[in-house]
Every structure is written in C-alpha cells, then in structure tokens.
C-alpha cells in the first residue's frame, strides 16, 4: 500500500473471477458478431467459421455466469435477481439480458441453422443417438423445400435481432462499469462502446485461433481466403478498438480532473506491465503492425509478400497476442479500478491467490471449461463445412 486508503478499501471487492466475466461475455458477443457477418452481411468468405463461431458463442455463454455465481456472497440467493429485480439497478438487468441472448438468440439461431442436419442425423442414426437427435429437432422433422426456406428465413431474422442483442449483451457489461460515478477509472460514457469493440476483436481472434487449430488437428487444409478475411476484419476491429481506447485516454489526460494524479501514478506503477506492455504494446500495436504489413487489410496481398504457411503462423500469433491483450484490458478495467483509493490519495496492491474459490486455479478451470463444452458441442453438432461427417479416417485428408 502507498498513500492513504479508506479503511474499507484494503480488500479488493472484485477479483480475478470478475475479470473473467467481461472477458467471457466479450468472447460470446464477438463470436456471434463474426457469425452474423456471414449470415446478414453476406461475407461469404468467412462461411467456414459460421457454425464454429455460433457454437463457440454458446460454449462460452454457458460458462459466463459461473464466475459471477462463484463470487457472490450468497449464490443461493442469486435467483432474487429474476424474482425481485431493482429496476434502477444496471446489474439487475443482467439475468434478463443473459436469458434473452441465450434462449432467444443463440439457441434459436443454432436450432434453425442445424435443424436440417439434425433431422438427417436422426434418420441416419439408430438407438439412443437417434432419439437424442430427434429430441434436438423438437419433433420438427419436415425437410421439404418450404420448411428449409422457413428455417433460413427465420434463422436470418434471428441473426438480425441477434446483432443488436450481442451489442446489448456486451455494451451492457461495459455500462455496469461505466455508470459508476464514484470511480473515475470506470466512469466513462465510452466504456460500453470500448467494451463492445474489444469484444468484437476478441471474438474474431478466438474464432480465428479455433478455426486454425481445429482445421490443423483434423488434417484439413486451411481455407486461406477465409483466414485472410478474418485477419482483415481483425485488423479493422482492432483499429476501431484502439482508436476508442486512445480517445478515452487522451480525453482523460486533456480534461485532467482531480483523479488524474493518482490514475497516472497507478498506470506508471501498478498497471505498467498489464496496460502499457501487455494491452497496448503486445496486444495492440505489434499485432496491428504485423497484420497491417502481411494481411490484405491495407494493401491487397499485403505490403510484405510472405508464404501462406508463414502468414498463417503470423495470424495465429497475432490472434493469441490479441487475446492476451484483451484479457489485459479486462484486468486493467476491473482490477485497475480498485487499486486506487476513492480518496484519490493512495494505491493498494492485488495479489492473486493460487487456490481458493477466487484463485488462479479456478480461473484457469473456468477458462478451459468452455473449450471442453465446445468440444462436446462439436461432437454433437459438427460445424465443419469441408467434410460433413468428421468421423471418417483422417488419413484420407
């Protein structure tokens, strides 16, 4: 500790688990928005990632509430948010926004998109598997041209509803922080927008990584046109995100309100690694330069002509670095906002514990859990476009 903290400020209220919450919801929103590129905006190049993006969004969505629940003082009372929500509270809407997004948007869209395949798997399978897929079709086994047209039409409409919903989901998470006027580090009208664009960046980067890894491990050839498009969109989203972050930063610096002194101290000392090094340098500037030089974002074919294999490696590296950068953004917002005293006279420290409910082990577990869920989802609902039945021998690839 350095300087003066109010006595009640010694303990950080929101720990690593709450860093996870905006990180995970951001991935959900970002992955969905990527999926909507293909469906609504007809960016056909990214079609190979469409279903994978939807399933990724679902897998992470299912885990999104766990860090919150684990963090509550009385998780057994959490249902009260649904039963008696305080309509003036930003947080009270969480349950409804979450339920809307999960139930109305994600599940329905996935159902419409997969219905034809589910019917087919139901017809092809036998025994328990057959009934499982029948249950998934909800009894709607009509695969006539009219029925499929209906699916397509409604799937499209759900995506159109889904885009503002995804904006709502993550913009709303930003609002939870941005509307706290007591905290000068959080209180910013830009917060929901910054959250949103960083979500898009993280979602695209995650799907890019997952697409590359799953394709490689299935011994398939990576669709370079798709990858190029992903890298291009990643670059554009990152530019917007970085511009917004910079605007926020410059605005604070220029206004130089009474909190500027302590916030500057915090950035120079406590957040130097996570903000300057990880978020700005590693997570933003280096990937921007690498993508700008090698992808088609600024110049068709890229300024630097590199072999496709090297280009794949560069994109993968960029996407991983961006993920680390986005996690750092969440860390800097959540933890950074609690490292200084509201008396603006002191700084405290946060030490991550290894074990315990709010520790590093649980956090890593919660980060791995969506990947396990995704693995299961992919087994049940194969999203691959390059091969309808992934169970055949890999050697044929």
**Residues of the shown chain interacting with other proteins in the complex, contacts defined by CB under 8 A:** 3-11, 13-14, 68, 71-75, 77-78, 80-81, 84-86, 88-92, 94, 176, 180-183, 337-338, 341-345
Least distance between other proteins and beta carbon 168 (Å): 17
Compare residues 14 and 134 and give the one whose CB is closer to other proteins: 14
Question: 243: Cβ–Cβ under 8 A, 6 or more apart, which residues?
Answer: none
Least distance between other proteins and beta carbon 21 (Å): 11
**Nearest Cα to 121, choosing from 393, 391, 396, 371?**
391
Compare residues 74 and 305 and give the one whose CB is closer to other proteins: 74
Residue carrying structure tokens 């206004």? 255
Compare residues 183 and 296 and give the one whose CB is closer to other proteins: 183
- Strand blocks (E) in 259-388: 346-347
Over its C-alpha atoms, the chain yields an Rg (Å, rounded) of 22
Residue 43 tokens read as: 């960016």
Least distance between other proteins and beta carbon 268 (Å): 20
- Would you say 241 and 198 are in contact if contact means Cβ atoms under 8 Å apart? yes
Specify the DSSP element, H or E, that contains 39: helix 16-39
Least distance between other proteins and beta carbon 381 (Å): 34
Compare residues 90 and 107 and give the one whose CB is closer to other proteins: 90
Compare residues 22 and 48 and give the one whose CB is closer to other proteins: 22
CB atoms within 10 A of CB 5: 18
Residue carrying structure tokens 């919801």? 25
Compare residues 73 and 127 and give the one whose CB is closer to other proteins: 73
List C-alpha distances in Å: 17 to 24, 103, 164.
10, 24, 26
Instruction: Give the single-character DSSP code of 3.
Output: E
Least distance between other proteins and beta carbon 267 (Å): 20
Least distance between other proteins and beta carbon 64 (Å): 15
């Amino acid at each position: 500790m350095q300087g003066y903290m109010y006595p009640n400020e010694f303990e950080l209220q929101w720990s690593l688990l709450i860093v996870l919450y905006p990180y995970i919801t951001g991935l959900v929103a970002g992955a969905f928005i990527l999926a909507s590129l293909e469906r609504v905006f007809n960016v056909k190049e990214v079609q190979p990632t469409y279903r994978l993006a939807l399933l990724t969004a679902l897998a992470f969505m299912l885990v999104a509430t766990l860090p919150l629940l684990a963090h509550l003082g009385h998780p057994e009372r959490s249902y009260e948010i649904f039963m008696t929500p305080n309509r003036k509270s930003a947080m009270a809407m969480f349950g409804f926004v979450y339920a809307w997004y999960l139930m109305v948007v994600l599940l329905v869209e996935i159902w419409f998109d997969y219905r034809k395949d589910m019917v087919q798997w139901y017809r092809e399978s036998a025994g328990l598997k057959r009934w499982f897929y029948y249950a998934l079709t909800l009894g709607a086994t009509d695969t006539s041209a009219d029925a499929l047209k209906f699916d397509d039409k409604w799937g499209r409409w759900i995506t159109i509803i889904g885009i503002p919903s995804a904006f709502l989901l993550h913009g709303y998470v930003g609002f939870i922080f941005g509307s706290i006027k007591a905290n000068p580090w959080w209180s910013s009208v830009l917060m929901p927008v910054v959250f949103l664009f960083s979500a898009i960046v993280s979602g695209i980067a995650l799907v890019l990584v997952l697409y590359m890894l799953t394709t490689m491990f299935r011994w398939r050839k990576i669709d370079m046109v798709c990858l190029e498009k992903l890298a291009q969109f990643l670059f554009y989203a990152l530019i917007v995100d970085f511009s917004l972050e910079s605007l926020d930063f410059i605005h604070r610096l220029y206004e130089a309100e009474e909190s500027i002194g302590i916030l500057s101290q915090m950035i120079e000392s406590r957040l130097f690694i996570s903000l300057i090094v990880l978020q700005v340098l590693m997570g933003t500037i280096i990937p921007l330069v690498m993508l700008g030089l090698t992808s088609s974002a600024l110049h068709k074919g890229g300024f630097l002509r590199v072999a496709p294999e090297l280009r794949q490696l560069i994109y993968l590296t960029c996407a991983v670095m961006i993920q680390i950068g986005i996690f750092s953004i969440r860390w800097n917002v959540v933890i950074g906002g609690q490292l200084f005293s509201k008396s603006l006279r002191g700084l405290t420290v946060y030490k991550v514990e290894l074990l315990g409910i709010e520790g590093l082990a649980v956090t890593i577990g919660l980060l791995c859990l969506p990947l396990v869920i995704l693995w299961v989802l992919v087994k049940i609902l194969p999203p691959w476009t390059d091969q309808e039945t992934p169970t055949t021998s890999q050697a044929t690839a």
